[in-house]
């Protein structure tokens, strides 16, 4: 009778999905899962034996079985650290001097028409002015900037507030290329934490420091938008220097080394969020 009633009773799925075993469906205390304690021990032993034989047989693509920091991830983080340090050895700043050459050259006279009188010897020759512009390219590595800090720092720190603050931030940025490059290699290969999960949490926390130079670069970019006057006469300087400091000077003087190190910082920072 009860079975017939269940078949004819309309099912309201909106209500049924809120019913749970042990409450509305089967009220009361749930019974034992295993028939006996021996059965429980036997099944547990089978599962443990299977787990010990091959981890992959427990469950395909089980995230618990994955390596916390793979060789590929270590390789990418190592590459980013190398980029930071190598960037100091290649041009970080570049520009060119504009050299204007002015010279006088004689105007070539058209060929004389047949029957026309020949030019009188010793007559004045018509001259014209030709102006040519050439570039004298110059570049400076990050290490070179440290060596010439007395020369270049004197010019930078003699300008407006935005320029002086940019010089200080730039010095911190270049120092972070070496410091964070070595630090990242240290936490990757020298720090030993037995628990893989604890090591991943440590690594994620430490890799956050790579956001600092990225924020420094953004701060320098914003300061270049504000702009500043130079404390020296920019005449005869690199063309990219311009008449006053601004975004054009900041972008124009920055070379491949700056952007390569910035890429290394971004890779390490984003990888820290992904791991």
Q: Where are the domains of the chain?
A: 73-93+140-274
Taking alpha carbons only, the member of 145, 175, 182 closest to residue 268 is 182
Helix (H) or strand (E) holding 104: strand 91-106
Average pLDDT of every residue of the chain = 83
- Is it the case that residue 272 has pLDDT exceeding 50? yes
Q: Which residues contact 33 (CB under 8 A, 6 or more apart)?
A: 40
Q: Which residues contact 260 (CB under 8 A, 6 or more apart)?
A: 83, 86, 87, 90
Q: Which residues contact 125 (CB under 8 A, 6 or more apart)?
A: 106, 107
Mean pLDDT of 101-126: 67
CA distance 91 to 113: 59
Segment 165-223, tens digit of pLDDT:
999 999 999 999 999 999 999 999 999 998 888 999 999 999 999 999 999 999 999 99
Taking alpha carbons only, the member of 237, 253, 235, 230 closest to residue 97 is 237
- Is it the case that residue 94 has pLDDT exceeding 70? yes
pLDDT band at 1 (very low <50, low <70, confident <90, very high): very low
pLDDT band at 14 (very low <50, low <70, confident <90, very high): low
Segment 139-158, tens digit of pLDDT:
999 999 988 887 787 888 88
């Amino acid at each position: 009778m009860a079975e017939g009633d269940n078949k004819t009773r309309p099912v309201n799925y909106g209500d049924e999905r809120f019913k749970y075993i042990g409450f509305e469906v089967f009220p009361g205390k749930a019974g034992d899962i295993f028939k006996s304690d021996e059965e429980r021990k036997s099944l547990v032993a089978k599962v443990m034996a299977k787990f010990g034989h091959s981890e992959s047989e427990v469950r395909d693509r089980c995230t618990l079985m994955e390596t916390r920091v793979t060789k590929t991830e270590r390789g990418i983080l190592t590459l980013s650290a190398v980029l930071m340090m190598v960037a100091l050895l290649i041009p970080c700043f570049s520009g060119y001097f504009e050299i204007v050459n002015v010279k006088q050259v004689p105007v070539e006279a058209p060929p004389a028409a047949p029957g026309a009188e020949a030019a009188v010897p010793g007559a004045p020759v018509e001259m014209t002015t030709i102006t040519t512009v050439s570039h004298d390219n110059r570049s400076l590595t990050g290490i070179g900037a440290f060596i010439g800090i007395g020369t270049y720092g004197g010019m930078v720190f003699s300008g407006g507030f935005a320029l002086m603050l940019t010089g200080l931030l730039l010095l911190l940025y270049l120092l972070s290329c070496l410091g964070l490059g070595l630090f990242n290699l240290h936490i990757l290969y020298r720090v030993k934490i037995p628990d893989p999960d604890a090591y991943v949490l440590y690594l994620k926390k430490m890799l956050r420091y790579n956001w600092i130079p990225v924020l420094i670069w953004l701060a320098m970019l914003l300061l270049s938008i504000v702009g500043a006057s130079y404390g020296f006469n920019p005449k005869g300087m690199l063309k990219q220097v311009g008449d006053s400091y601004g975004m054009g000077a900041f972008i124009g003087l920055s070379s491949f080394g700056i952007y390569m190190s910035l890429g290394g910082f971004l890779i390490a920072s984003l990888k820290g969020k992904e791991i």
